[in-house]
Structure 1
Amino acid sequence: MNRLTHRVPFEEAAVSATPYVVSDIAPLRRVIVNAPSPADYHLEVATGNFLHYNPPPVAAARQHGELERLLAASGAEVLSMERLLDEAIEEARRKGQFATWLRAALPRLAPWAGSATGATLLARAGHVQFQTDAEGVYRHIVDHRLGLAFTRDLAVMTPRGWILGNFISPSRRGEASLMRFAAEFSPSLREYPVLFDALEAGLCLVGGDLQVVDERTLLVGVGHCTDPRVAPLLARRLDMDVIAVRMRGDSTVRWKPDDSVLAHMFLHLDSCFTRVDHKLAVALPYFLEAGYAGRDPLTRFLKGLLVEPTVDAQQADAAVANLAGIGWVRRYRAGSGDVDDSCEGMKLVDLVRAWGWQVDFVGGAADALDLEHFFRVVLAEHDKQASNLVATAPGRVLAYADAPRTHAALQARGVDVQAFDGRDLWPWWGGPHCLTLPLERG
């Protein structure tokens, strides 16, 4: 039976499925990655940004190789996206379905249906790059797939099966199609049922916004890249309590290019919060605690700028309003999706502290009155994805180097921080958590 037609009723999945990912920190057993390659294509037209060209990521590929080595050394089976696509193509061809799928999903690649490989679908095969017509004029075949390095965004594995994502960004929508194709046809992914498909639901969902707390609880960042309407749907479909965390105040998500500091600070939930041990998380300070609402360093900084005649007051006001909405939580009850008011008036850090967790902060100990600490230490380490860590086991995490104060705070609590050079990866606004899609933990 094809994967995407294998939408098992929840009642069946709950009884028959072995838990695949029991928490975001359980020992990592199987994971999907997609290393940048010097052969990658670097042009895209989906957003109109057609003259933006990225140089071949030679150093990024080498640094990603170190991540893969550390993952394998932890005992995890590391699967590459290119290998999974190769498997899926072979299986789809065997079933006589590949050419049909290619014409529907990526019609400009249809002429290569007989010879396409995973590299072709990833836009790293030379014969589909820089094509020209009979007059020598460039003919665009496929956009870049650079975002696929962040495999976490494509999907999330829950205790009982997949949640498949759907991007608001036009340049990343093709990545979601490739993930669905791999999930449907790759033999290596055959055992995992699809429990929720955001594309079928007509909603946007990015895996970097989802974290499995335990077999009954799911965190979901909403309002920026993941639609708030997803949260109650997941509570009903997965029969899990869903804690929605506001990343932006919008009631829906819409495509709007945004290169602001706020967009990158709160791009996904894992941009500002990840769990590292049974009762320990690392978070961006100030913004996820109700006690700092309206008086965090960035809000006070922006309010001060409003008196400057050269500052765009409308833009600054909008940023202050966005900051006021970030971090608040709402619980949706397992099974019904009804709102549970027990979290009313709490932000995420307040909630996990109520669970008995401790929280360490990006940049180490935080002083809300110290603007210099925020700009020189917190933002500097946040830019290096200091809170975007992936656990390979409880208390054992992989991290980019160059966030020494954050790492020192974690190490003081006994966390084993294995840091590697990510200086050519972190400018893409994703860390080790984003670079990994766990399939099995526990």
Structure 2
Amino acid sequence: MQQAPRIPYPKSSVSTSPYVVSDIAPLRRVIVNAPSPTDYHLEVATGNFLDYNPPPVEAASQHKQFERLLRASGAEVLSIEQLLDDAIEEARASGQFTTWLRATMPRLAPLANSITGATLLTRTRQVQFQTDAEGVYRHIVDHRLGFTFTRDVAVMTPRGLVLGNFASPSRRGEASLMRFATEFAPSLRDYPVVFDGMEEGLCLVGGDLQVVDERTLMVGVGHCTDPRVAPLLARRLQMDVITVQMRKGDAVRWKPSYDLLMQLFLHLDTCFTRVDDKLAVALPYFLEAEYADNDPLTRFLKGLVLEPTVDAEQARAAISSLADIGWVRRFRAGSGEEDTTIGRLKLVDLVRPWGWQVAFVGGPTDGFDMEHFFRIVLAEHQKQASNLVATSPGHVLAYEGAPRTKTALEACGAKVQTFNGRDLWPWCGGPHCLTLPLERG
């Protein structure tokens, strides 16, 4: 069988830009949004009208520890709430705040003179459990809990900011707030917006984007980021865009419920992140072509199809979806045209010829050990074991609770610093998602 041509490993060049030249370059400036005990937990945009949870007191404390580790690494840490406060002040001074508020969140317009960043983040009593003259609840604004994962709303590239856009109605407000901050906050004034998902009308979530170097961008597509984004980014950013299929499809559409496979492969950083110049961590099996339609989870599902109480149609759909995950395509910088010469590769197959090592979630795999997959791999994957953030090449921050993955990374020379994220990881995001780097390098 003829071997598919390899994509040459992209060579870095010296940069004079202040932005992000790779996802592992030394972290200099980063945006975070710590959950607060005063956060509001109600949202109705997706119909979850009784989906209310207690205030995230422990999650807030754990995030503060994460912030301390970021600062100890030498990074300047900016908070979304402060950026929104600064943006509000600037917008008021220019006479544009009330106009923006009425256009974006009209139910907040009567509060225009007293609104703060905390208000926009639903952390004040002004917008929580309000009632009308008859004592009936009056909903003003949905929660902003997803904003804890600041990576989702924007990604900095070598050329400037790429702003996100969500399929989920409950998260669209976060994208609007980020656009507002980039327009008015003085601390963000020097960062150009080079691509806006809302303006383009296409879904794009930052957890799907990873900067390899100044010429190459990886983009997970299919679940939360629309495949049609890729050629647009290649043209706009003048970068080669390598897409990684997270789910097969021509477009992203909102679904009222999330299935198990969506949680397993939600974003690219859910199952793959770079750790060092030639080291990455990945969920095993699904990003390698040799295991397509032959991984432990697929074999497990093929057995379940035979059980009389199992929905065979749903199980077969899951099997088909698993085989689709991980395949790559490349779109050329400038033209956005697809490079059809690379052959049929999955992501791990792509980076290994570049000289990258790949450490796996749960440690080294041994063929098709189904028990290891379910007891070790999935258990550590649930704790976002591959969703790590590099503070410099080979130095990463990770949640506690994935010891086999940590050992595998350390065996490859990485330094892994962990912190307690027990009340953060159930939200389906890890340290990579918790950070929006503005400057690296």
363-372 or 59-68, larger mean C-alpha shift:
363-372
Residue 118 of structure 2 aligns with an amino acid whose one-letter code is A
Structure 2 counterpart of 1:12: none
Q: How does 1:196-275 map to 2 (within 5 A)?
A: 196-275=195-274
Q: Which amino acid aligns with 1:285?
A: P
Query: What is the alpha-carbon distance in structure 2 between the residues aligned to residue 402 and residue 110 of structure 1?
Result: 45
- Kindly report structure 1 stretches of 4+ aligned residues shifted beyond 4 Å: none
Using the size of structure 1 for normalisation, the TM-score is 0.96
For structure 2, list consecutive stretches of 5 or more residues without a partner in the other structure: 1-14
- Report 1:31-110 matches (<5 A): 31-110=30-109
SS in 2 for 1:343: coil
1:94-243 matches, cutoff 5 A: 94-243=93-242
SS in 2 for 1:102: helix
2:315 corresponds in structure 1 to 316
What corresponds to 1:287 in structure 2? Answer: 286
Change (3 A) 1:367 1:257: farther
CA contact (8 A) 2:359 2:412 kept: no
The Cα offsets for residues 43-82 of structure 1, whole Å up to 9 and x where unpaired, read as: 0000000101111000000000010000000000000000
1:341-356 alignment runs, 5 A limit: 341-356=340-355
The answer (yes or no) to whether the contact 2:224–2:252 under 8 Å persists in 1 is: yes
Q: Deviations over 1:213-250 (max 9, x none)?
A: 00000000001100000001100110000000000001
In the aligned structure 2, how far is the partner of 1:42 from the partner of 1:103? 23
* Matched residue type, 1:353: R
Provide Cα deviations, 1:102-136, integer angstroms capped at 9, x if missing partner: 00101111011111000000000112110000010
1:189-217: CA deviation from partner (whole Å, max 9, x where unpaired): 00001111111111000000000000000
How far off its partner does 1:260 sit?
Answer: 2.2
**SS of aligned partner of 1:342:** coil
**Structure 1 stretches of 5 or more lacking a match?**
1-15
Instruction: Note if contact 2:215-2:238 (Cα within 8 Å) is conserved in structure 1.
Output: yes
Q: Give me the whole-angstrom Cα distance separating, in 2, the residues matched to 1:107 and 1:176.
A: 16
State the Cα distance separating 1:258 from its structure 2 match.
3.4
Aligned residues: 427
Aligned-pair Cα RMSD in Å: 0.9
Could you tell me how far apart the structure 1 residues matched to 2:343 and 2:326 are?
12
1:90 and 1:185 map into 2 onto residues whose CA distance is 9
Please say which of residues 409-418 and 133-142 is displaced more in the overlay: 409-418
CA shift at 1:421, angstroms?
Answer: 0.3
Give 1:281 deviation, angstroms. Answer: 0.1
Q: Distance in 1 between matches of 2:268 and 2:41?
A: 27
How far 1:397 moved relative to its partner?
Answer: 0.2
SS in 2 for 1:139: coil
SS at match of 1:127: helix
Structure 1 residue 19 displacement after superposition:
4.3
Are the equivalent residues in 1 in contact too, given 2:212–2:218 (CA < 8 A)? yes
Q: Which segment is superposed worse, 337-346 or 16-25?
A: 16-25
- 8 Å CA contact 1:19–1:160 kept in 2: the answer is no
Instruction: Give per-residue Cα distances to partners, 1:13-51, cap 9 Å, x unaligned.
Output: xxx982400000000000000000000000000000010
Equivalent position of 2:422 in the other structure: 423
Distance 1:51 1:299 in 2: 35
- Identity among equivalent positions (%) equals 77
CA contact (8 A) 1:206 1:226 kept: yes
Q: Secondary structure at the match of 2:426?
A: helix
Partner of 1:297: 296
Match of 1:4 in 2: none
Amino acid at match of 2:213: D
User: 1:407 & 1:417 partners in 2: Cα distance?
Assistant: 7
